[in-house]
Amino acid sequence: MRGKGLLIGLKCKVTNSDLVAAMRERRVLVVGGGDNTVRILPPLIIEEAHIREGIAALHDACRALSKAKVKKETAA
């Protein structure tokens, strides 16, 4: 993890564009960054409930990408 405050960059094990797409499907704004990083872009005014919602979306997106990877590997 990189960054200061709420401007956080997460280093990805999967392609960052895959994680960006998965997060956008869950209505969370993130952008890809260099070196396979995803930047989380929270609003300036944020409530704890929004943070929890974002973390839950990240968890769900990672779980979905993990399942897709396993499914792809077993099909090959």
pLDDT digits (tens, 9 = 90+) for 24-52: 999 998 999 888 999 988 888 889 999 99
Q: Write down the domain spans for the chain.
A: 2-75
Amino acid (one-letter) located at 73 = E
Sheet of 2-4, strands arranged across: 2-4, 7-11, 37-40, 30-33
Which residues, 6+ apart, have CB-to-CB distance to 41 below 8 Å? Answer: 7, 29, 30, 31
CATH architecture of 2-75: Alpha-Beta Complex (3.90)
pLDDT digits (tens, 9 = 90+) for 60-75: 999 999 998 887 778 7
Answering whether pTM is above 0.95, one says no
